[in-house]
Copies of this chain bind each other. A is one copy, B any other.
Amino acid sequence: MASSIAELISERIDTLPASERRAAQTLIANYPLIGLKTVADFSQQAGVSSPTILRFVARLGFHNYPEFQSALQDELAAQLQSPASRTFAPAASGDGIVSPTLEATLDNLRETFRHISDRQLAGIAAKLSDRRGHMYLIGGRFTDPLARYMAAHMAIIRPNVFHLSGQESIWRDRLIDMGKHDVLLIFDIRRYQESLVRFAEKAHHRGVQIVLVTDQWLSPIARFARHVVAGRTAMPSAWDSSASLFVIAETLIDAVTRQLDTEGARRIREMEELR
């Protein structure tokens, strides 16, 4: 069916007039990038005139050139999101429970960390390692558990870690204690919660440094954030997956732990003795 544009072309390539066929061939040969350039570039590369290009895409069923380009981009986007696995055939067990979910999760993780650099994480870790200020964590409806998870670890290796839980009014009241030396770590994926956005804005105005962990569409909180980390969340399922955010959290925990190193180690030992 609908399938890819490349297939659509190779189906009809025999029925095309000569010049348009040249256009088709050059497109296939440089698929799909030449189609993302201008009509002039495309036509020159194919050795035909611009109107020929336009007639060509019109014959494929597109109403205009930009529409054709959008289709190519969508296709490319889908291709880029799921690296290896999509190129190969579905690994036989297409209808199992485990396989699709696991594969999608692995893809999400790889894709997520492809866009995250060591230096970015190091910058965030440095901020989270600053024991002078307070560290606050909070999350949305589904992501608040991630904030709790991270808080549980951070509280062990550094002082003044607070997870903001309960009613909105409760966090709001804590704003009074927040200042420019403090860090607020927020987890927020769509649908983004207004209450969180409001809270972030107020914290930002108080000078609090915000670290945001969000999805690829970026929560509106990004506007106020000093650091933004985006994870992939799309899944072949009714739900989005927060697994990539979870691994980001664990990576940060690890990074901060290493940064605090000796100090943190002593703290952990002390804590052991207190139990």
Name which of A8-16, A55-63, A178-186, A195-203 contacts chain B: A8-16
A223 touching B47, Cβ below 8 Å: yes
Contacts of A222 in B (CB 8 A): 22, 25, 47
- Across the interface, A29 reaches (CB within 8 A) one of B101, B152, B230, B239, namely B230
Does any Cβ of B come within 8 Å of A42's Cβ? no
CB within 8 Å for A250 and B257 given contacts A25-B222, A28-B230, A31-B115: no
Contacts of A118 in B (CB 8 A): 93, 96-98
Does any Cβ of B come within 8 Å of A192's Cβ? no
Does any Cβ of B come within 8 Å of A159's Cβ? no
Main secondary structure of the interface of A (DSSP, over half): helix
Does any Cβ of B come within 8 Å of A153's Cβ? yes
Contacts of A243 in B (CB 8 A): 243, 246-247, 250
- Across the interface, A105 reaches (CB within 8 A) one of B122, B247, B253, namely B247
Does any Cβ of B come within 8 Å of A237's Cβ? yes
Q: How far apart are the CA atoms of A236 and B204 in the complex, in Å? A: 36
Contacts of A228 in B (CB 8 A): 25
A73 touching B37, Cβ below 8 Å: yes
A145 touching B149, Cβ below 8 Å: yes
A251 touching B36, Cβ below 8 Å: no
Does any Cβ of B come within 8 Å of A7's Cβ? yes
Name which of A76-84, A128-136, A167-175 contacts chain B: A76-84
- Across the interface, A254 reaches (CB within 8 A) one of B114, B123, B218, B239, namely B239
Distance in Å: Cβ of A273 to nearest Cβ of chain B: 15
Q: How far apart are the CA atoms of A145 and B25 in the complex, in Å? A: 25
Does any Cβ of B come within 8 Å of A53's Cβ? no
Does any Cβ of B come within 8 Å of A87's Cβ? yes
| Chain A 121-149 per-residue mask, 1 if CB under 8 angstroms from chain B, else 0 | 11101000000000000000110111011
* Chain A interface residues (CB < 8 Å from chain B): 6-7, 10-11, 13-14, 22, 25-26, 28-31, 33, 36-37, 47, 73, 76-77, 80, 83-84, 86-89, 93, 96-98, 101-102, 105-106, 109-110, 113-123, 125, 141-142, 144-146, 148-149, 152-153, 216-218, 220, 222-223, 228, 230, 235, 237-239, 241-243, 246-247, 250-251, 253-255, 257-258, 268
